[in-house]
A and B are shown apart, each in its own frame.
Chain A
Amino acid sequence: MAARTIRTVCPRNCYCTCGMLVTVDEGRIVRIEGDPKNPATSGHLCLKGLAYARRATSEDRILTPLVRRRKGGPLEPTSWKNALADIAERLDRIRRQSGPDAVLFYEGSGSHGALGQLAFAFWHQFGGCTLPFGDLCWPAGLEATRLTYGANLHNHPRLTRHSRFVILWGHNPAETNVHQMRLLLEARERGATLALIDPRETDTSDLVDVHLKPKPGTDAALALGIGAVIVEEGLHDRAFLEAHAAGVDEYLRRIEEYPLQRVEQVTGVPGESIRALARAYGGTRPALLIAGFGLQRHRHAGQTVRAVALLPALTGNVGTPGGGWQYANLASHCLQPVPLPARPTAVRERFAVARLGDALASLAQPPLRAAWIEKANPASQNPNTAAVRDGLSRLDLVVVVEQFQTDTTQAADYVLPAKNLFEQEDLVTAYWHPYLQRRAKVFEPPGQVKPESEIWRLLCERFGFDASWFPTDTQPLLRGLLPPGAGDAFDRLAEEPLDLSNTGDVAFARYRFPTPSGKVEFASDEAARLWRVDRVPDYAGVDGSEADARRFPLRLLSCKTRDRIHSQFGNLDWIRDVERPHRLEMHPDDALARGLADGQHVIAWNERGGIAVALRVSHGLRPGVVHLLEGRSREEDPQVNLLTGEGVTDMGHGATFYECAVEVRGA
């Protein structure tokens, strides 16, 4: 058979959401390339996208259902028939004894696609379930942006090349959004200045012109201080503010509380550096401000992002090519919901996902008795994972749908083999570029692997539920999800990614902001009403007592790497061969103060526990800050989330991974 090339898309939880061209010959991937028809990712992939060739044929792939017949025993192969019969019987028993909401349905971000929603065609017929609310990653920043601008939209990435000044705030595109890096470097070669705000040096910091390293969690103070300088120097855009902003007077009073001296003391950034950055940003047009997710992995995340998000509006850098505020672009999120049976009343949403460990232990009426886990690895990726593992181990039934063994499958009574991105057609949205893309079916699932929608259909049949919600041909269903008036877009998606948003390349080009006031909201009644925060963003200090700060004086960050998406990809030899070692990075001053040397084995610990890890002494960190990458599994990597806590952000119900204080000693 001749080689054929198929257009598809990477469905990982990643800014880029690259279009991909996969060439298959004799049932094997012989080439993977970027799709040049995606204007944002323009014909390139990252190492993870290229590693799909290896991932698809990995010897580690789970190819049959697995059962653990007794707690603590091994996982053994079983048949779909036996697995689903036993799972159905046990779920039904729990439902009859304790109610449907004694079962937790837990989904992560492991694989994006519209068909994932079909799980609810089962749960709604089951009579309900328990669901977490919020999100582990980005919700505080999304809500902050929505409160400020009314919508999470930003300029098309290709307009970055028009920027004359760019601030990257808590963002590391060289590792986590590499196609953005190409556009930034192009802007720089055309004369733009790049500035970075990050407590540590990264692959991105090597290529910027200016780098400020604030203390983690003080970004709100820095943003308000920058705002104060901009106003003091008269660099704010009075005409824009007059016409398109609300609550400016209150903001102007707020920034008076942030003189440079105070901001320097709070953030640890020299006042003159702050002044220079504020002058350069305020005095250059167009200027772009791009925020990552890192600055909102803190308790006061929403107020922080609001404070930062106001700077583009203060300087009138809104609705203009090369300018703007970039956090997340949800322009492609224009699909209709998948048709589902009516939602029953017994769907219980009573805990923020960051508090999963606590919920497993303490939810009552009914307590949780079973969990179904899909596209997720909570026993490694959620904060306070020791509590998550304990909680899972106490349940009567844990079902995990997975491609590979993880810490979560270690807690499973059943592991059901999951499809990979090449084994089911789907529609995939993005959060950086505006393109909707069609994920193609390239291969039949290997072994006994079944797509999740097929698993749900079979389970519905077991229960005698209506299985017609799961069409055997999913194309008509997917076609029906496109927005009204999309015409033949579904067929065109086979040829190219499509922007169906009708928002244009420049976000807010007509200065229409879907906020209550119709303007950019410097003061927000909605924020005060929904989240009980100050109407005007403020810096709220760093949480924790002084005694705690003396006991655990180091801030542990666990930033994202180029090599993995959370715990994905870390099992592949192609990735292991090139990836960064998982070491605790520490500034030489902090190492010296503790008598620690590079390469030494150390224990990082706090009130939640301790982890053993090798030390890397690096000048790239701000003193007082230590860094460790997320681990894949407790056997393979140090597990940072044994130390992170179950805090919840001030808005959006996010997690506070970077609100993590530790001390480090020799092992």
Chain B
Amino acid sequence: MTRKAGFVLDLGRCVGCAACVLACRLEHGWPGSAPFRRVLPLNEVRHPAGPTYFLSLACHHCERPACAAACPTGAYERRADGIVRHREDLCVGCRYCEMACPFGAPRFDGARGVVAKCDFCEARFERGDVPACVAACPTEALRVAPDSGSAAEAIPGFRDAAGCRPSIRFTLPGGIRGARLTGLLRQMAERR
């Protein structure tokens, strides 16, 4: 059976440390290139009404990729293993994919006149390794396991409005906190 590509982010483990971003940068040729991954802090002002957590995001390798639908030259293909691949040799730099992707995954590289995006570290994947960002994650919050975790739609701050069916899955902090915590301890968490 072919391995399936797809990221899982454990929101109960991601501390937003950005090692994944730098690992991406190291892997994909540097110093010229920008990283394909970024970390978004949600509720950075720590408003007590909402949870505070980090989303480490790259390309979600969607089931119905908007980038591919928008590309006039057919530079995108979705492989059987789930990797949405961008072919630089077919890219004319029109940037339609950049506009179409609701997650900001494709990025125009002005110096080279083409778009670039996360390829799930294709070369590593093919020799059986996990992507560089996953390998680098110090808390093992970022993993490769496409069939676990909540559906993407369930996460506040992350919506699939365009119906792309992103392959990323999240593990919610609530899932590990569980009922083990007594009500008393919860009340103690001063949210002032």
Contacts and interface: CB of A to CB of B under 8 A. Distances in A.
B93 interface: no
Which of A54, A203, A276 has most chain B Cβ within 10 Å? A203
A329 B156 CA distance: 41
A280 B185 contact: yes
Contact of B136 (A44, A562, A618, A623): A44
B17 A174 contact: yes
Given A53-B26, A57-B31, A619-B47, A193 B138 contact: no
A334 interface: no
A619 B190 contact: no
Interface string B15-32: 111110111011000110
Contacts of A50: 19, 22-23, 25-26, 136
A182 B139 contact: yes
Interface in A525-552: none
A193 B181 contact: yes
B26 A47 contact: no
Given A33-B135, A47-B19, A619-B46, A207 B173 contact: yes
A204 B54 CA distance: 12
A211 interface: yes
B188 A185 contact: no
Given A193-B181, A209-B181, A619-B47, A45 B188 contact: no
Given A54-B31, A178-B17, A562-B17, A618 B138 contact: no
A617 B184 contact: no
B160 interface: no
B146 interface: no
Interface in B1-45: 12-13, 15-19, 21-23, 25-26, 30-31, 35, 38-39, 44-45
Nearest to A616: B45
Interface in B145-188: 173, 176-177, 180-181, 184-186, 188
A226 B181 CA distance: 21
Contacts of B53: 206
B137 interface: yes
A189 B139 CA distance: 13
B138 A620 contact: no
Contacts, number: 127
A14 interface: no
B137 A44 contact: yes
Nearest to B178: A191
Given A178-B139, A276-B185, A47 B190 contact: no
Contacts of A272: 188
B140 interface: yes
Nearest to B10: A185
Given A189-B176, A204-B15, A618-B46, A45 B136 contact: yes
Contacts of A189: 176
Given A181-B15, A562-B18, A578-B21, A44 B192 contact: no
A396 interface: no
A212 interface: yes
A193 B31 contact: no
B121 to A, nearest CB: 12
A182 B48 contact: no
Contact of A188 (B46, B140, B176): B176
A189 B140 CA distance: 13
Contacts of B181: 193, 209
A270 to B, nearest CB: 7
A31 interface: yes
Given A181-B139, A210-B185, A47 B18 contact: yes
Contacts of B48: 619
Main secondary structure of the interface of A (DSSP, over half): mixed
Interface string A421-465: 000000000000000000000000000000000000000000000
B52 interface: yes
Contacts of A354: none
A32 interface: yes
B111 interface: no
B17 A185 contact: no
Interface residues of A, number: 55
A31 B135 CA distance: 12
A620 B25 contact: no
B45 A209 contact: no
Given A50-B19, A213-B192, A31 B31 contact: no
A204 B173 CA distance: 13
A578 B180 CA distance: 35
Contacts of A24: none
A34 B139 CA distance: 13
A175 B51 CA distance: 19
B15 A578 contact: no
Contacts of B31: 54, 57, 573-574
Interface string B58-95: 00000000000000000000000000000000000000
Interface of B: 12-13, 15-19, 21-23, 25-26, 30-31, 35, 38-39, 44-48, 51-54, 135-140, 173, 176-177, 180-181, 184-186, 188-190, 192
Given A44-B138, A182-B140, A207-B173, 20 more contacts: A32-B26, A44-B137, A45-B19, A46-B19, A47-B17, A182-B139, A185-B12, A189-B176, A191-B180, A201-B52, A203-B16, A204-B15, A211-B190, A280-B185, A563-B18, A577-B21, A578-B21, A598-B45, A618-B44, A619-B45
Interface of A: 31-34, 44-47, 50-51, 53-54, 57, 174-175, 178-179, 181-182, 185, 188-189, 191, 193, 201, 203-204, 206-207, 209-213, 269-270, 272-273, 276-277, 280, 562-563, 573-574, 577-578, 598, 616-620, 622-623
16 contacts: A44-B19, A45-B19, A46-B19, A47-B17, A178-B19, A179-B138, A182-B138, A189-B176, A204-B15, A209-B177, A213-B192, A276-B185, A578-B39, A616-B45, A617-B45, A620-B45
Counting from the closest, the 9 A-B pairs by CB-CB distance are A620-B46, A174-B15, A50-B22, A44-B138, A578-B18, A178-B138, A619-B46, A182-B139, A47-B18
